[in-house]
């Protein structure tokens, strides 16, 4: 079928119409005229894949990555960086509008590097082939380089066959010193680690959650801050823009005394805000991350921080108006209703909501905006060349 692409959707896919039915086409660009094959047919919509570009959109640029048209690893490498930034501003503004939040979002902070920024990647291994799945499929695209990943990770990717893994997943994490941690999820034997260690600064290997070589953590640095990060603990994937996130936290906690940092990970935002605040309490569900946070507070001389390992919903009753600021940096699923209601009722003066998912952010803001007003929304281009974006939102109690 021949389709003219009219606009992007919220997942970075092009949208067109076929017989009045909406069709979503990954890797297409508004203005494209395409020959498309239908891949999914539902009552209300279709999905398709590009068979041939009949007439390319003027917005198209040649993607740097030779795997781009097939690979499901990233989705916006076929338009210019400035157009991806505009797309992200419009996307978040539209999602907010859809949730009755009229806020035109105009600020987006660029990443210092838009390629080779990721300090972590997870690859699939299928019958000894290594790569990412194709978009919306379980078909493997073998790769030996990913332009989103740190250069050292790319060297490691080329040598992964040395490990002789047949099937499973492998995560590569790298730190500021180019030290490497491998996290393997596979039933196969892992071979040639010594050879691997001679070529790379291999700090540790974890297989199926068990340490099989070296240490199970990396030390990482953002600006002057030093963090211990366990193999299973969250750490921002783009260290360049993470420094900007820290600056925003610092600027927006200048007048804060007592801060509650829910979903605190290894204590990053707690430690950054503790420069301004008298006391910070960080809450995190992952035991290893909380153990890291306890150590990180000492590394960074943030002795006014305390951390507890708990599910946010189990400690939320302890929230009192004693705190003047709450930092929320939840996973993509956002904050559960019960927690949002408690926060609202505690009437805490300021909420700083950091989110990598504007859809759940807008849903949650809608609940908080009964009692709060938006002060600022800033986007951070944490994930260049993809449709993803980090949102930083400051709310004040009405």
Ligand X SMILES: C[S@@+](CC[C@H](N)C(=O)[O-])C[C@H]1O[C@@H](n2cnc3c(N)ncnc32)[C@H](O)[C@@H]1O
Q: Which residues are marked as active site?
A: 356
CB nearer ligand X, residue 30 or residue 265: 265
CB nearer ligand X, residue 133 or residue 279: 279
CB nearer ligand X, residue 248 or residue 264: 264
CB nearer ligand X, residue 304 or residue 360: 360
Is 287 near ligand X (CB under 6 A)?
no
Is 392 near ligand X (CB under 6 A)?
no
> Three-state SS for 295?
helix
Is 290 near ligand X (CB under 6 A)?
no
Is 331 near ligand X (CB under 6 A)?
yes
Is 289 near ligand X (CB under 6 A)?
yes
All residues at 6 or more sequence positions from 167 whose CB lies less than 8 Å from its CB, including other chains: 125, 126, 127, 186, 187, 188
Stretch that binds ligand X, among 116-124, 137-145, 167-175, 262-270 (CB under 6 A): 262-270
CB nearer ligand X, residue 135 or residue 335: 335
CB nearer ligand X, residue 147 or residue 392: 392
Task: Tell the smallest beta-carbon distance from residue 354 to ligand X (Å).
Answer: 7
Site string for ligand X, 216-245 (x = CB under 6 A): ------------------xxx---------
Stretch that binds ligand X, among 2-10, 65-73, 202-210, 285-293 (CB under 6 A): 285-293
As a whole number of angstroms, the distance between CA 250 and CA 102 comes to 27
Task: Tell the smallest beta-carbon distance from residue 236 to ligand X (Å).
Answer: 6
| Sole residue written with tokens 């790298």 | 174
As a whole number of angstroms, the distance between CA 7 and CA 87 comes to 10
As a whole number of angstroms, the distance between CA 333 and CA 361 comes to 9
Among 179, 216, 329, 387, contact with ligand X (rule: CB under 6 A): 329
Among 284, 381, 387, 390, contact with ligand X (rule: CB under 6 A): 284
Task: Tell the smallest beta-carbon distance from residue 312 to ligand X (Å).
Answer: 4
As a whole number of angstroms, the distance between CA 345 and CA 202 comes to 49
As a whole number of angstroms, the distance between CA 389 and CA 255 comes to 27
Asked if 237 and 118 touch (Cβ cutoff 8 Å), the reply is yes
Provide the angle, in degrees to the nearest 10, between the axes of the packed helices 337-346 and 358-368.
40
CB-nearest residue to ligand X: 265
Asked if 333 and 313 touch (Cβ cutoff 8 Å), the reply is no
Stretch that binds ligand X, among 49-57, 72-80, 257-265, 383-391 (CB under 6 A): 257-265
All residues at 6 or more sequence positions from 42 whose CB lies less than 8 Å from its CB, including other chains: none
Per-position b or e across 151-166, b if 16+ CB within 10 A of its CB? ebbbebbeebeebebe
Is 30 near ligand X (CB under 6 A)?
no
Task: Tell the smallest beta-carbon distance from residue 352 to ligand X (Å).
Answer: 11
- Give the helix/strand (H/E) hosting 15: strand 14-18
- Give the helix/strand (H/E) hosting 199: helix 193-199
Phi-psi region of 81 (alpha: psi -120 to 50; beta: other; left: phi over 0): alpha
Site residues, ligand X (CB under 6 A)? 234-236, 263-265, 268-269, 283-286, 289, 311-312, 329-331
């Amino acid at each position: 079928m021949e389709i003219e692409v009219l606009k992007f959707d919220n997942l970075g896919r092009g949208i067109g119409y076929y017989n009045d039915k909406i069709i979503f086409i990954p890797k297409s660009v508004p203005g494209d005229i395409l020959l498309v094959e239908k891949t999914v047919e539902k009552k209300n919509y279709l999905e398709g894949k590009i068979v041939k570009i009949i007439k390319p959109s003027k917005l198209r640029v040649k993607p740097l990555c030779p795997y781009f048209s097939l690979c499901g690893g990233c989705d916006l490498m076929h338009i210019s960086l400035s157009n991806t930034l505009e797309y992200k501003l419009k996307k978040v503004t539209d999602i907010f509008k859809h949730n009755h939040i009229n806020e035109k979002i105009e600020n987006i902070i660029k990443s210092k590097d838009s390629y080779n920024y990721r300090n972590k990647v997870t690859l699939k291994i299928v019958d000894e082939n290594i790569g990412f799945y194709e978009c919306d499929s379980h078909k493997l695209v073998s790769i030996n380089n990913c332009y989103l990943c740190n250069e050292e990770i790319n060297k490691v990717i080329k040598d992964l066959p040395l490990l002789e893994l047949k099937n499973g997943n492998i995560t590569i994490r790298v730190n500021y010193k180019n030290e490497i941690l491998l996290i393997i999820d596979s039933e196969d034997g892992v071979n040639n680690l010594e050879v691997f260690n001679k070529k790379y600064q291999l700090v540790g290997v974890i297989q199926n959650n068990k340490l099989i070589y070296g240490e199970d953590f990396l030390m990482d640095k953002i600006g002057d801050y030093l963090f211990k990060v366990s193999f299973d603990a969250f750490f921002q994937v783009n260290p360049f823009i993470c420094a900007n996130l820290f600056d925003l936290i610092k600027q927006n906690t200048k007048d804060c005394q007592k801060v509650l940092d829910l979903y605190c990970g290894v204590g990053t935002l707690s430690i950054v805000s503790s420069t301004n605040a008298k006391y910070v309490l960080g809450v995190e569900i992952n035991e290893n991350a909380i153990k890291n946070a306890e150590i990180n507070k000492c590394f960074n001389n943030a002795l006014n921080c305390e951390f507890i390992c708990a599910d946010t919903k189990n400690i939320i009753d302890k929230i009192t108006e004693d705190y003047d600021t709450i930092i929320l940096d939840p996973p993509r699923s956002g904050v559960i209703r019960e927690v949002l209601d408690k926060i609202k009722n505690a009437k805490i003066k300021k909420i700083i909501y950091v989110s990598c998912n504007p859809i759940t952010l807008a849903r949650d803001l809608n609940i908080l905006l009964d009692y709060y007003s938006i002060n600022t929304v800033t986007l951070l281009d944490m994930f260049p060349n993809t449709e993803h974006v980090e949102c930083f939102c400051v709310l004040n109690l009405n």
